[in-house]
Structure 1
């Protein structure tokens, strides 16, 4: 089973920034270990907004130390690129034109009240745990998401 971590940036990255970040992700992934055992993983950026790390736990399981290493790595990217991958106050969704929008929670709440965001608005469910869920459960209607319980 492939475990994932989805880190949403607090702003849309430029294509150049995404490419530069990937230049740092590749060597991190190739050196990522858990108690001395190499982790079989990969990292990628989707939509110039989401950094996704993935580990095949059938090869070697992640540990607290390996998770700490990834968090430390993500924090170093934050400093280098002046971006925050741990800001949980931003919501990503697709607008009526299917473009990805990123707004503060307070703005998102106003969009719901005004009807711009509604039950069928596609939102990003970044709390997924397994790569197999990305295809079917990452972009889901607002009514089926954790967002509908919070807002």
Structure 2
């Protein structure tokens, strides 16, 4: 069952998929259509899942699930991953590669492989206060409060020691 993202509770479980490029203006309506269709039929052991999505910065897909009525099962999570893999093929993008970092510098989003970001941190090209996206957040509340943070306040902090 599709629910507007803003209406989901703060403790909703969350998955973030980071694209290796921005979605184009032509792609965004299609992406929204696919996400809507998937979440409308997403189930766990036959029970509808109360979920919603948000696309941020034309680059991140956040899917949130209210687990108060039905929780995600292994099969439903597998279905979500399979759906994301279909999006990767449809849009010729990478969404599942966790070895990349997106950060803000000079009011622009930048996307780098983790090794490059680590080297940039060592070289001083990015700093402890560089805004990064902590895609390891697990709930909607964490997403709203701790997703877009200075590098020193996320797992990225280990690159600044």
TM-score range, shorter chain: over 0.9
Name 2:36's counterpart in structure 1: 26
TM-score under structure 1 length normalisation = 0.93
SS of equivalent residue, structure 1 residue 79: helix
Deviations 1:11-59 (A, max 9, x none): 2221222221111000100000000000000122111111111110012
Equivalent residue runs for 1:87-102 within 5 Å? 87-95=97-105, 97-102=106-111
Aligned pairs, how many? 150
Q: Is 1:37 paired with 2:47? A: yes
Equivalent residue runs for 1:1-151 within 5 Å? 1-95=11-105, 97-150=106-159
User: Which consecutive unaligned segments of at least 5 residues does structure 1 have?
Assistant: none
SS of equivalent residue, structure 1 residue 15: coil
Tell whether the 8 Å contact from 2:48 to 2:70 is kept in structure 1 after alignment.
yes
Name the CA distance, whole Å, in 2 between partners of 1:88 and 1:63. 22
Name the CA distance, whole Å, in 2 between partners of 1:47 and 1:72. 23
Name the CA distance, whole Å, in 2 between partners of 1:113 and 1:12. 27
Name the CA distance, whole Å, in 1 between partners of 2:40 and 2:134. 27
Tell whether the 8 Å contact from 2:122 to 2:159 is kept in structure 1 after alignment.
no
CA-based RMSD of the aligned residues comes to 1.3
Task: Please say which of residues 40-49 and 98-107 is displaced more in the overlay.
Answer: 98-107
Name the CA distance, whole Å, in 2 between partners of 1:8 and 1:108. 16
Name the CA distance, whole Å, in 2 between partners of 1:18 and 1:52. 14
Shift of 1:150: 5.0
